[in-house]
A and B are shown apart, each in its own frame.
Chain A
Amino acid sequence: MASYQVPRKFPTTVVGSYPKLGPAEEAIRRRKKGEISEEEFHRIARDAIKMVVEDYLWAGVDIISDGEQTREDMVVYFAERLEGYSPGDWVRVFDNVYFRKPVVTGRISWRQPMIIDDWEYARSISGGRPVKVILTGPYTMLEWSFDLHYGDRREMIFDLAKAIRREIEEAVARGAEYVQVDEPALSTRPFREEAELLKEALEIVFNGIPAKRIVHICFGRLERILPYILDYPVDQFDLEMKNSNFRLLPYLKEYGFDKELGFGVVDVHSFQVESVEEIKAAIDMLMKADIIGPEKVYIDPDCGLKRLPREIARQKLRNMVEAARLAREEW
């Protein structure tokens, strides 16, 4: 594998998901119909992962992902592959769009590798760039599943955490350097007791894991719980910032934030491509706020790019990379 030097300052990265490309959609559809095995499913999706990686390389992103091409839904994907889950019944997401909200009907445990195949494939074609291992976090799995087995949130989240850790260990044993868990559900319930529950779970997930440990949290009113999350056992907080107009920055300053920051500078809800100047200005603003040094700042989009058209996602990333390059010259 070719070696790749990640920039010391302002490395660029992605949160994880990318628009679903043709072969992935096809693979998901055929798997649902029961036409293909799990192995074939991942093999067909490789064509999509390859296109995603090509887009990342074209844009110049330093630390990439597999684009989560095989994950139709961030909770369902894992629920289908963990012990203890059943498919569940239809629940509305919006309008007349429904998904099968998974149900926990037995004790949750790890069964076999879930995301390793896609991740390893992405690594094999990344030209040496690190590929993040990305998993849905225990709190989000807890909140976005129904429970018929535990009747106790603590017990359930700790079993989820153990299962997720097992997958991480699998990845680290194969050389994973960056491990991220996604917790979008946390900011929907910005309460101290919830933040503390996740902290306990993350200790199970991450303690002693020899890799860069990242938690991604997005949207909602994170400032309410910031004091209770800052001592999470992670190296990096990856946060949505652009969409909320960088509202969190003064709070980070106030609470003496000194971990690494995944700094969201691209709005994933807007089809408007941010200009290089606009993104550079956001980085400048962070630097002027004097919270952390440039070697602790990772530049990335607010969240996954899956809801954007591919062309817009590509262009947003390219401008982001260029802005980071300019920032490196200045800071």
Chain B
Amino acid sequence: MRVRAQVLGGYPRPRHVRRALRAAERGEADWTSVSRALEAASAAVIGVQVASGLDVVVDGLLDWHDIFRPFASMWRNVTPTALLRYFDNNFFYRIPLFTAEPEPTEPVLAPRARTYAPLAEPARLKAIVPGPVTFALMSEVRGGLKREELAEAIARLLAEEARLAVEAGAGFLQIDEPILGDPEVGEDEARLAADLASEIASKSGAPESMVAVYFYPPDRRVYEALASARVDYVMVDMVDASGRGLDVVAEAGPARRGVAAGLIDARSIYRDRYERVRDAAARLAKALSDGMDLILTTSTWLDLIPYSYSVKKTRLLGLYAERIAEDLGVEFTGGWGVG
């Protein structure tokens, strides 16, 4: 067994990016200065992750206003509309409005993989897509399109997005299905999500893939449906709901290649207690066989806390993963062969 670490998703915008964006929105600066700010800031967050011992890193997704936005803006037959609360956060996303089956235009993920994968060395860059079930259920649909058909159509587009991103250098694929933590989501949705994640992961050709459920842990049947999908890991939020997600995963067992444990609280700025994280990891380790990985990760994206804390949490994640590997007497992948 190995211990690995990675951040789940996007980072908050540092001040210079917020300012550059605001200036461009007001017409006081041109968009090339925004691109420059974004590239510099992405390079910085990649550097923080690599230096913290994370073997899979994200570019921070700093230009994304919400997880659906780049796709809802880029694809045909869908537009971002009114604001709606994003789960239980004091953060709002724009509801995508689908008027017909979406059609692709330019790829969203491949250009960023081409830019940022080389900066991630020796780590690998992760490509992140919204899960098709979450996307479909959190959108407004007009024109007689059924939710399930919409989810399938979205999955086809995302599979192609992911394939191009992998071709452009992404080495890990993450599919976010936070809505599967909703206690009212049933097995049908879970099975659909599992099927569509399998489709996206296998068509993408990604070396590794993961489905992520956060903001609330999935119940056991939902988790089991996902763990039987053709993805390598199912990430579960083990912070919210008093860490109930830990019980679910410890009892139901790992996905194909291991467990991804959301144990670092990404929504508080409190310093996570090492003992809590270690004890949880030790419990999960018992359920893993030799060739499997325990991926330590954040309970959700880091973009709901201030920038300085996102950096602190990243460092803590790497630090704890390395200590846990030591305590369990197993390999830590983020040591980069140094002392």
Of the candidates A90, A92, A151, A269, which one forms a contact with B15 in the assembled complex, judged by CB atoms under 8 Å apart? A90
- Considering the complex, give the chain B residue whose CB is closest to the CB of A95: B65
- Tell me, in angstroms, the Cα distance from A305 to B15 when the chains sit together: 31
Name the CB-closest residue of B to A188: B88
CB distance from A42 to the nearest CB of B (A): 26
Interface string of A122-146 (1 = CB under 8 A from B): 0000000000000000000001101
CA of A94 to CA of B268, assembled, Å: 19
Contact of B269 among A93, A95, A146, A185 (CB under 8 A): A146
CB atoms of A94 and B269 under 8 A apart: no
Of B189-197, B225-233, B306-314, B330-338, the one contacting chain A is B306-314
Binary interface profile of B, 264-277, with partner A (CB < 8 Å = 1, else 0)? 00001110000000
Q: How far is the CB of B11 from chain A (nearest CB, A)?
A: 11
B83 adjacent to A94 (CB under 8 Å)? yes
Contact residues in A for B13 (Cβ distance below 8 Å): 92, 96
Number of A-B contacts (CB under 8 A): 69
With contacts A90-B15, A92-B13, A92-B303 taken as known, whether A188 is within 8 angstroms of B241 at the C-beta atoms is: no
At the interface, yes or no: A45 with Cβ under 8 Å from chain B? no
Chain B residues within 8 Å of A95, by CB: 65, 94
Tell me whether B18 is interfacial, beta carbon within 8 Å.
Answer: yes
Given contacts A147-B268, A148-B269, contact A89 B18 (CB under 8 A): no
**Which residues of B in the span 86-126 have a Cβ within 8 Å of any Cβ on A?**
87-94
Q: Which A residues touch B251, using CB under 8 A?
A: none
Give Cα A151 to B90, complex, Å. 20
Asked if A89 and B91 sit within 8 Å, CB to CB, the answer is no
In A89-118, which residues have CB < 8 Å from any B CB?
Answer: 89-96, 98, 101, 103
A91-B12 CB under 8 A given contacts A96-B25, A148-B270: yes
Which one of B15, B91, B183, B308 contacts A94 once the chains associate, using CB atoms below 8 Å?
B91
Whether B304 is near chain A, meaning CB under 8 Å from some CB there, is yes
B72 nearest CB across to chain A (Å): 13
CA distance A90 to B304 in the complex (A): 10
Chain B residues near A89 (CB, 8 Å)? Answer: 306-309
**If A89-B306, A90-B15 touch, does A96 touch B22 (CB 8 Å cutoff)?**
yes
Q: A95 to B64, alpha carbons, bound, how many Å?
A: 8
**B91 lies within 8 A of A96 (CB):** no
Residue numbers in A under 8 Å from B12 (CB-CB)? 90-92
Which of B21, B22, B306, B309 is most buried by chain A, counting CB atoms within 10 A of its CB? Answer: B306
B80 to chain A minimum Cβ distance, whole angstroms, is: 10
Contact with B along A169-191 (1 / 0, CB 8 A): 00000000000000001001101
Tell me, in angstroms, the Cα distance from A101 to B90 when the chains sit together.
10
Closest Cβ neighbor of A144 among chain B residues:
B90
The reply to whether the CB of A88 lies closer than 8 angstroms to some CB of chain B is yes
* A91 and B305 contact, CB distance less than 8 A: yes
Task: Find out whether the CB atom of B306 lies under 8 angstroms from the CB atom of A94.
Answer: no
| A258 → chain B closest CB, angstroms | 27
Given the known inter-chain contacts A95-B65, A146-B269, A219-B85, please indicate yes or no for A88 contacting B91, CB distance below 8 A: no
**Distance between Cα atoms of A188 and B240 in the complex (Å):** 13
* Contact pattern, B 29-70, Cβ under 8 Å of A = 1, otherwise 0: 000000000000000000000000000000000000110000
- Could you say which residues of chain A place their CB within 8 Å of the CB of B305? 91, 146
Choose one: A90, A146, A151, A219; the contact of B18 (CB below 8 Å): A90
How far is B85's CA from A329's CA once the two chains are assembled, in angstroms? 39
B46 to chain A, nearest CB (A): 20
Judge whether B65 and A96 touch: CB under 8 Å. Answer: yes
Separation of A151 and B273 alpha carbons in the complex (Å)? 11
Contact B22 A94 (CB under 8 A): no
Assuming the contacts A93-B92, A94-B92, asked whether A191 and B241 have C-beta atoms less than 8 A apart, the reply is: yes
- CA–CA, A71 and B306, complex, Å: 22
Task: Please determine whether A189 and B88 come into contact, CB atoms closer than 8 angstroms.
Answer: yes
In chain A, what residue has the closest Cβ to B25?
A: A96
Please name 10 pairs of A and B residues whose Cβ atoms are closer than 8 Å in the assembled complex, sorted by A. Answer: A93-B92, A95-B94, A96-B13, A96-B18, A103-B269, A146-B268, A185-B90, A224-B183, A224-B184, A269-B82
Q: Taking A91-B304, A147-B270, A224-B184 as given, write out 8 further A-B residue pairs in contact, using a Cβ cutoff of 8 Å, ordered by the A residue number.
A: A88-B306, A89-B307, A92-B12, A92-B303, A93-B92, A94-B65, A96-B18, A188-B87
Which 6 pairs from chain A and chain B are nearest by CB?
Answer: A89-B306, A188-B88, A94-B92, A96-B21, A146-B269, A189-B88
